[in-house]
Structures are given as C-alpha cells and as structure tokens.
Structure 1
Amino acid sequence: MTDLSALIRLCPPPPTQPDPVDWDRVETELGLRLPEDYKRLASTYGPGRFGDYIGIHHPHGVTRYSNLTGPMPARIREYLQRDYDQGTYPVPYNPQHLFALGSTDNGEYLFWITEPEDSPDAWRIAVNEARGPQWFTYDGTLTAFLISVLTGTTDVPQFPDGLLNQPVGFTPSVPPPFEVADPPVRPPVDTEDIRNWARANGFQVPPRGRIPREVREAWEQAHPV
C-alpha cells in the first residue's frame, strides 16, 4: 500500500474531485521542483486541514497566506533569517533551505528542508515551535509525516497532547466571504502568556494542550503586531 493510499483510508478526501493543478506553472513560479508525494496529495485533497489542526498550503489556497505560491513562505523565511542572524532562536537549518508548506491551529509552521534542492523527493519535514525555540525534524515525506502523526506513531512535541482525542479526518477549506489581507508574521510568544490573558478576560482555557481557536484569535486581536 502506498503512503497516499494509507492516508486516504485514514482521512477520506472530499467526494468532489478538486480542480486540477497546473504543476508546470506552479513549479515555474516557485523556481523549484516539488516532491511528487505532495503533488499527488494536493491533487487528491485540494486545500484544507488534516485532523482539524494541520493546514497544508495549496496552489489553490483560498486565501493568499494559505496559497503555496503566495507571499507567506518568503515572509516566514525572512523572519527565520533574522532569528538565524541575530541568534534569537536556534534555527537548526539555513533558513534559505526552509520552505513553509503549512501551519497549525496553534501557530506552528511546517517546512520542507529543501536539501538537496534538485532532489525534492528526498526532502524532510521540519516543524517549529509557535512561541518558543523547539524544532522537530521528520525524516520522510509530507504524506508519510501526516500518516505517522495522525495514527499516533510519531509524537511531535510541539503538538497538543489531545490532538488525537477526536476522530481524524480532512476538512476542505472554504473561501472567506471577503478578501483577507496577508497576516503579519507574529514573533514567538509563550503560550502561558496567552492562557493567563485569557483567564483574566473571562475565557476558559485548559492548563495544557491546544489553545481554543476563538481564544487565540481574541488574543491576537487584542495584541496586534
């Protein structure tokens, strides 16, 4: 069984076939070839989120910051480069070899480690800590990473303990009713600061694990970049 077949059994794709992707155009626009497993995954599922937590960037992303060819990968790389140059956080790879391919509800980013650049099927996956210095590296493809995380085989320290407490699946992205501006790249913030702010403002938050999306959005609105 291929990794994609295993992922389909675990997380069935939408019943409606996604719009086809012009991969030649996408790769020309990005200036690099993409892993074949990603192209098969994106062509099968379309834009959306896995496990109600992991969003994968897609050439047909419904907003500019969830679009694989949008501005966010470059902006995130610039932020990491600044960290790397200043020694603010120990970025374990040259930021020029990190390409942001997705994000989570808690604000972590998923990256391809684009080494060697001319062998995309050998690229590994890295995950940063949303509001801290920790990094995690997975020695395999994006599809294999999703299977491993969503079956509980791989434990990513940055991900919440209760990630698999609910059934896993795939949720297609829905276009917003209005144009969404590119979000700023927010500097790291300790999750305990968010929890303390939430409790002081009447929100119920668990002592550990995933911060509810409505709490995180309220905190971001109260603390603009």
Structure 2
Amino acid sequence: MTSIDRLISLCPPPQTAPSTDWPAVEQSLGMPLPADYKQISDTYGPGTFCGFLHLYHPHAHTSWTSLTGPMPSTIRTQLQREHEQATSTLPADPQDLFPMAVTDNGEYLFWVTRPTGSPDEWTIAANQARSFKWYTYDGDLAGFLAAVLSGQETVSVFPSSLLDHGSFFTPLAPAADLTAAQPEQSSAMASSSDIRAWARGQGYEVPDRGRIPTEILDAWQQAHTQ
C-alpha cells in the first residue's frame, strides 16, 4: 500500500474535487511540485485535515491558504529576515523552505526544496507558532500525513489533542472568489476557522470558540480586500 492509499484509507476524500492545470501552476511558481502533493490536491481539493491542518491549494478560497497567493513569499521573506538577524536557527536556508500548509494554531509546514529540481525527494519541516521551535520529517508529504493521522508519528509542534476525534477531512464548501468580494463581504465568505488560523499566524490571541473580536475581523478584512 502506497502512502497515498494509506492516507485515503485513513481520511476518505470527498466525492469530487476541482481539477488543476498543474503545468500552469508550476510555471507560475517557477518550480516543479511533488507528485504526491498534486495527487493529494486532486483527490481532496481545498479543505482541512482533522479540522486543523490546511494544505495550501491552487483553488483555495482565501489568499492565506493559496499555493499561488502572496503568503508563501511573505513567509519566506520573514524567515530570511530572521535568518539575517540571527534570531532563529532554521532547518535549511530560507530560500530552500517553501510554505505549503498552515494550522489553526498558526504553525507553518514547509517543503525543504533540496535537491533543486527533484521535488519527489523533498522532505518536510514545521515551525511552531510564535516560537523558534522546529520539527522535521525525513520523507514526503503523503508519508507525513499518513504517519501523523494514523498516530504513528508525533509532531512536537502540534497539539497532543490532534487525533482526539479521529482522522477526517473536511472539504471547503464552494464559495465565490474572495478577490472579487466587496470589503463588507470578505469575512462572511471565510469560515471562522479560516479567520482564527490567519489571526494566530499573525500573532493575535484568538479564542477557540465564541465571537471573534472585532479588531481581528477588521484586520482580516483589511488584509484580504486590498
């Protein structure tokens, strides 16, 4: 059984998922992508694993989880700044770390893009939210997801409660393109978990449940309607 087969067995995918023009996506990014990532994306579409892990996707409904949106470049710029200021120890050169997932707590997952041009050999690194703690996995994304969602692999920067409700995948409901939304519509089109995860990634303190503070909603709107 391949890692993809194991992942599908652990987390049944939705019946349908949007198709992707991968050559166009890779041309836009200026690099090839791992075959397992493309298969996962084609199988599941945009959504979350265990209501926690958001894989970046070309068809994401918000810019903060879009593989081809501004977030990967923004995060790499931040890593480069930290590297130059020697404020953190990274598992690889910042230019070799490409963000490809985010959690509701604000952790980012990266491909370690070495060797260049051989994406199927890339490994995984994760950075704990608002800290300099890193976790690394010496394998591909499909293997990582299958190992984590089966409980075989414990990720030190993830909460111990990750699998309390089992392994499951939640697809995002169809939504209009946020880039075409009016400012007053953007927060309504995004789910509350989307906004909480984005806010945590920006360093805000956000309650797990209940009403999202107005200042966070305002910051979300400003960030996504420019």
Q: Same fold (TM over 0.5)?
A: yes
Cα deviation for residue 121 of structure 1 reads 0.2
Q: d(CA) in 1 for partners of 2:140 and 2:11?
A: 17
Q: Which digits, 9 at most, give the CA deviation of each residue in 1:142-176, with x for residues without a partner?
A: 11101111111111111111111112110012355
The structure carrying a bigger helix percent of its residues is: 2
Cα deviation for residue 91 of structure 1 reads 2.0
Q: Which digits, 9 at most, give the CA deviation of each residue in 1:70-96, with x for residues without a partner?
A: 111000000110011001222231110
Cα deviation for residue 3 of structure 1 reads 1.0
State whether structure 2 residue 9 is matched by structure 1 residue 14: no
State whether structure 2 residue 216 is matched by structure 1 residue 221: yes
Alignment match, 1:57: 56
Q: d(CA) in 1 for partners of 2:139 and 2:160?
A: 22
Contact 2:12–2:169, Cα closer than 8 Å, also in 1: yes
Cα deviation for residue 64 of structure 1 reads 1.7
Alignment match, 2:106: 107
Contact 1:97–1:115, Cα closer than 8 Å, also in 2: yes
Contact 1:80–1:95, Cα closer than 8 Å, also in 2: yes
Alignment match, 2:157: 158
How many residue pairs were aligned?
Answer: 204
State whether structure 2 residue 124 is matched by structure 1 residue 125: yes
Alignment match, 2:81: 82
The amino acid across from 1:221 in the alignment is I
**Percent same amino acid among aligned pairs?**
44
Can you give the 5+ residue segments of structure 2 that lack an aligned partner in the other structure? 188-194
State whether structure 2 residue 134 is matched by structure 1 residue 139: no
Alignment match, 1:172: 171
Cα deviation for residue 185 of structure 1 reads 9.3
Q: d(CA) in 1 for partners of 2:130 and 2:218?
A: 14
Cα deviation for residue 187 of structure 1 reads 5.9
Cα deviation for residue 65 of structure 1 reads 1.7
| Gap change, CA 1:175 and 1:125, over 3 Å in 2 | same
The amino acid across from 2:148 in the alignment is V
Q: d(CA) in 2 for partners of 1:90 and 1:24?
A: 34
Can you give the 5+ residue segments of structure 1 that lack an aligned partner in the other structure? 204-211
| Gap change, CA 1:130 and 1:45, over 3 Å in 2 | same
RMSD: 2.7
| TM score, norm. by length of structure 1 | 0.82
Contact 1:76–1:185, Cα closer than 8 Å, also in 2: no
The amino acid across from 1:2 in the alignment is T
Contact 2:124–2:139, Cα closer than 8 Å, also in 1: yes
Q: SS state of the match for residue 137, structure 1?
A: strand
| Gap change, CA 1:187 and 1:45, over 3 Å in 2 | closer
Q: d(CA) in 2 for partners of 1:106 and 1:219?
A: 19
| TM score, norm. by length of structure 2 | 0.81
Contact 1:57–1:66, Cα closer than 8 Å, also in 2: yes
Alignment match, 2:191: none
**More deviation, 91-100/179-188:** 179-188
